[in-house]
Amino acid sequence: MAFDGADLGPVKARLLERLAQDENDANALMDLSIVLQLMGQRDLGLSMQALALEIRQLYRLRCSADSVGIRLLAIVSPGDLAVNNAVEFLTEGSDITLDLLYVAPDIPVPAVVPDHDLAMVAVCETDQNRPLLKHIEILAKSWPRPVLCAPDRIARLSRDGACALLQSAPGLVMPVTTRVDRSALLSVGRSELALTAIVREGSLPIIVRPVDSQKGHGLRKLNSREAIVEYLEARPENAFYVAPYVEYRSSDGQFRKYRIVLIDERPYACHMAISDHWVVHYVRAGMTESVPKRAEEARFFAGFDEDFARRHHDALRAIAKRVELEYVGIDCGETPDGELLIFELDSGMTVHSMDPVDIFPYKQPQMQRVFRAFRQMLIDACIK
């Protein structure tokens, strides 16, 4: 409903009515938390989540299939909608029973958890989640069922960590990303420190973003030292990622960003966005308004295995082997020389089938293919 721009007010009102009848209705509190966050009331939403977790740590999503198949326990973190993999999108419409178990260093695992076939760590890599990933790493060592997406491997996916992981991998480009504090970045902007102190190439323009930022928040291309100072004057954060800008404009002057997921090391296309701006976001790229752009995306899906995946076979295989995760998302582009340009690796990259079928008729079949692959990955993990 939020994706379609629907009014969530009536849903909020119904949940409040339930809570008026039973203030300990944990399901209503958790649903209200999500609704409030979707309505832009993040802090209030998180307070509702905290109340829900005081009552219960475990939440089951309804299985829409008639028969019950795999029983998946997703280990998730308290926090907003960006801190976990939205596994519920991947299991939507399937026979997978999904239980969400909220854990934290100060929230012990319940003495009894529902029986399950396997667990999956759905906590994303962030500074805030690092202590939790270490905590889950300890828990996973004695977990009674197979655990997918090992927390220590997820922890390697920070922007600088992923860069280090993929350096020298064949067929791909991932600009050397450095984490710097505010004072060092400011010193470079004021010409008190050499640019090579934060960017190995020592040349402008550079890309700067706050640590833990998502969806392009605070992301800027800075062409001068003066621009660095101006950028910091407008930003409150104390830690940033810095990397050299890599040109990836296509011959037609447009920028193309691809979202790929690796499931059991095999690549699957999730979307392609085309924009005249170097920061490409699907919802702002005009895909809904442009028939030619959607036609190109449909061709991208149709020919993915024989074209994109084949051309970048070595690069995608190297990523799979180095990341060592059963499920991981990749946002990428292509350089003018045809190499795979990596923007980000993320074990929680959002993958969904919410786009309207009348405008994007080619998306549902593709996303169902992704969801089937995810389900098969779970089945195979149970057999191993």
Q: Which two tokens stand for residue 354?
A: 């919410």
The phi and psi torsions of 186 (rounded to 5 degrees) equal: -65, -40
Instruction: Find where tokens 């993915």 sit.
Output: 304
Give the contacts of 259 (CB within 8 A, at least 6 positions apart): 269, 270, 271, 272, 282, 329, 330, 331, 349, 351
Domain assignment present for residue 338? The answer is yes
Residue 182 located in a structural domain: yes
How much is the pLDDT for 111? 84
- 276 and 359 housed in the same domain: yes
pLDDT value at residue 194: 92
CATH value at residue 208 = 3.30.1490.20
357 and 270, same domain (yes or no): yes
Answer yes or no: do 116 and 195 share one domain: no
Are the C-beta atoms of residues 101 and 76 closer than 8 Å to each other?
Answer: yes
Rounded CA-CA distance 219/97 in Å is 38
- Domain of residue 66: give its range: 57-149
Shared-domain flag, residues 52 and 130: no
Whether residues 277 and 190 fall in one domain: no
As for how many domains the chain has, the answer is 4
SS3 for 76?
strand
Low-confidence ranges of the chain (pLDDT < 70): 63-67
Query: What does the pLDDT read at residue 107?
Result: 86
Per-residue confidence (pLDDT) for residue 344, from 0 to 100: 94
User: Are 31 and 124 within one domain?
Assistant: no
Backbone CA torsion sign across 114, 117, 122, 128 = positive
116 lies in the same domain as 215:
no
Do the domain assignments include residue 169? no
Instruction: Enter the tokens of residue 188.
Output: 């470079």
The pLDDT value recorded for residue 66 is 62
Whole-number Å distance between alpha carbons of 268 and 116: 27
Cα angle 335-337-343, degrees, rounded to a multiple of 5: 20
